[in-house]
Amino acid sequence: MLSKFFTYLWDTAYQGNKNNIISLLEHNPKAKFLDLGCAEGTWTTECAKKMGTEQVYGVEVVDEQISLAQSKGIIVEKGDLNKLIPFENNAFDVIHANQVIEHLYDTEKFMLEINRLCNVGGYIVLSTENASSWHNIFALVLGWQMFSLTNVCSYGSVGNPLAIHRGDTGTSWKSMEHIRIFAYRGLIEYIEHFGFKVESILCSGYYPLPNWFAKIDPRHGHFITIKARKTKPISLIMS
DSSP 2-25: HHHHHHHHHHHHHHHHHHHHHHHS
* pLDDT exceeds 80 at position 3: no
- The reported pLDDT for the residue numbered 109 is 95
Alpha carbons 166 and 178: distance in angstroms, whole number? 15
Q: What radius of gyration do the chain's Cα atoms show?
A: 17
* pLDDT exceeds 80 at position 16: yes
User: Which is more confident, 174 or 90?
Assistant: 90
- Summarised one tens digit per residue, pLDDT across range 92-144 is 999 999 999 999 999 999 999 999 999 999 999 999 999 999 999 999 999 99
Reported as a pLDDT band with limits 50, 70 and 90, residue 211 is: confident
Alpha carbons 140 and 181: distance in angstroms, whole number? 14
User: Which is more confident, 71 or 157?
Assistant: 71
How many percent of the chain have pLDDT more than 90?
75
Answer yes or no: are the C-beta atoms of 125 and 94 closer than 8 Å.
yes
For the ranges 75-84, 89-98, 144-153, 219-228, the lowest mean pLDDT is seen at 144-153
| Average confidence score pLDDT of the chain | 91
* pLDDT exceeds 80 at position 164: no
Alpha carbons 122 and 175: distance in angstroms, whole number? 28
- The reported pLDDT for the residue numbered 172 is 54
User: Which is more confident, 137 or 233?
Assistant: 137
| Mean pLDDT computed over 160-174 | 69
- The reported pLDDT for the residue numbered 100 is 96
Alpha carbons 67 and 239: distance in angstroms, whole number? 39
* pLDDT exceeds 70 at position 171: no
Reported as a pLDDT band with limits 50, 70 and 90, residue 236 is: low
For the ranges 31-35, 45-49, 204-208, the lowest mean pLDDT is seen at 204-208
Is the domain spanning 25-130+171-217 CATH 3.40.50.150? The answer is yes
Residue type, position 18, single letter? K
How many percent of the chain have pLDDT more than 70?
91
- Summarised one tens digit per residue, pLDDT across range 48-77 is 999 999 999 999 999 999 999 999 999 999
